[in-house]
Structures are given as C-alpha cells and as structure tokens.
Structure 1
C-alpha cells in the first residue's frame, strides 16, 4: 500500500461513471415529448442505464435494436413511437460523447497518480452492494484502498464525514491532497477541510458550469483524464 501523505479522492458516481447522466436527460426529453409522461430522476436513470447497456458496442446490431424497441414499449411508447425511440437510440450509439466512460483512461490516471506518490480514494453515494458490482466489472477499482459508500457513513454528500474518514484512514495531509468531482455541491465542503479541489465538467458542462464558477474550485477541467496535467 502507498504510504504517501497525500491522496486524490474521487467521487465515483460523478467522475468515473457520469456519461449516462447526459444520456438520461436526453431519454427524459424524448419520453416526455412523446408521451407527456413526467419521468422522475430514478426512472430516468434506470432507462438510461439500460439504454447504455444496449448501445454500448454489441457485436450483433440486430440484438440491441430489438432491445431498444422492447424498452420503448415497456416505458409506455406506442408501436410507432417505439420505432422512433429505436432511431433515437441508433443516433445516440453513433455519438461518441454518449459512449460508456473509457475506464482504461481512468485506470491510466490512477496509475499515473500512484507513480507520482499519491494515494487514491473514492467517496460514493452508491451503496456498498452496488460498489461491489462495479468491482466485478472494472478490475482496476480493486486496487483503490480507501472507499466510503453510503453504507459506511450516515451522510455522504454534502457532508465532510466521508472525506474525513478517508483522510484519517490514509493518514494523508489534507493540504497536500485533492478532491475531484463533477457535481459542485461538495467543492465548498472539501475546500473547507483544506483539500485542493478539481471540478470536472464532462458531458454536463451546460448544466454545471455556472454552479462550478460560483463554487470556485482550484481547477476546472473538461474531462477527468486531464487531471494528471494539473497535479
């Protein structure tokens, strides 16, 4: 284990697996427009997650197309609307920014930071069970020694409790360490603890830029993989 006195703490949901949120908003707009059905955030994310799993590079194109059509029917679209939803899915699958996050780039980022003497931590609003599921899909997460989920603390965000637990466990010096997130609400919390802060705009730039500017992170980048150029 890296015994350095500095650490980079990432928000897992936002930075590592954020791309589906932009897709979720697109799905919500489409469904609301076609059915006048208000899609709540929970339903929106479920639909988007399934859509990403469908358009995420299946070898047989006819298999995902059938699944997209079936998904359209399940969420209340009629036959013709489901065909429109199918076309919508095809267009999304051709749009690079809606591809699943290139986890290889994050893996390389972690390696780069570790080679430069940083420990790695992750704080996440997801449950421990979901995090274990992510571990099964992304091997590089297994080497992250410090993880706090919503099962570990009473409140993960916006609260200093999760960050403080990681700082204490890693014995890191907060003033030499960084917190990285693509949602601005934790930036003031992390800064108040003495951490330097990095905001990641990503696909949600149009929604979060003004809020990030108001919160004044130390650095603002478009993509998480740009972080190694700053630290």
Structure 2
C-alpha cells in the first residue's frame, strides 16, 4: 500500500459498481491492522467530542478541531497508517490541553508542538501529493525538496496555532500561556517537527517506490 493510498490497477472494474455515497468515500483500504487503528481513532474522536460537551466550551472547540483533522485526511484518501498516527497524536495533544497537562508538565507543550505540527504537516503534504498539486519526489534532491516543502507547510501551521492560542487567551481563557518565550519555543518546536515529518515522508515514499510491486 502506497503512502499516498493510490488506487489499484483493478479499480476501474469497481467504478462500474453502484456507489454507496459517504460509505464509499469514508472507506479506508489498507492493511487490516491499519484500518482497525484508523477506525478506532475516528471513533475516539467522535466520543471525545461527546465527552467534551460535559467539560466546557473550550474543550468542545478543541475536540471539534481534532475531529476536523481526522475527517479531512480520511475524505482525501491519505494512507491509513498516516491517518492513524496523526489522529492519535492530535487526540493525545487535545486531551492533554483539556486536562491542563501542559501546566502540570511544562515540557509536554514542546513535545506536543513537535508531534502535532509534524503530523499535520505530513498529512497536508500527503493531501497535496494525492491531489496532484505536488510531484512525487524522485531521487535524493527530490526527497530533500519534500523535506523543505513539509517544513514550509509546518511553519505556517505553527503560526496559526500560536494565533489560536493568543485568541483563546484574549477572548476565551486567560490562563493560556502566550508569553514571548513560550511562543518562540512553540514555533521552533513546530519547525523541528515539520522537518522530521518531511524526512519521514521522504523515507517512506522512497521505500514505497523502491519496493517491488506485489504479484
């Protein structure tokens, strides 16, 4: 299974069959373990939103964003392995925020920015590749370019994250930490996460490209 969740050569035969609407759109072909993991993460996302309604409006907003982050890659057809990994990271980061884990464990905030920004950047680049807006990298230079593109996507995502924290601190919850040092550390962590994610994407694409096609 390609990282980009490319359709198989026999897909044309399936196109003649009646479509099941959203059921077909939300289907996630791939290894059984990855499909199960993706469905479990999606179910946890829906359950988390329901539970968040009993916490507060901030928790609802956070979980709604997480659910959006779970839905977009699924509809876009991103590989299930990436969906499951990114979804798990987003859920973990969201619940850490709801339970004020970042206040109790200061270094957890940096870890969350590294992992979550990297996951979001990887998903965004995978969506762009799936949509044909980026070419699948070829050779070492192409893979280096993919790392740069992923970093270029991740850094603006980090900025948007910080803007969201500022907005939340200003208009929703004053306890959100938006100090100068915290913002710089978060931006740096997000950049590192995006670079690492780009390297992982390049490595996985290389492995997929180099592996012989299954018979």
TM-score relative to the length of structure 1: 0.27
User: Which structure features the higher share of strand residues?
Assistant: 1
User: Which structure features the higher share of helix residues?
Assistant: 2
TM-score relative to the length of structure 2: 0.28
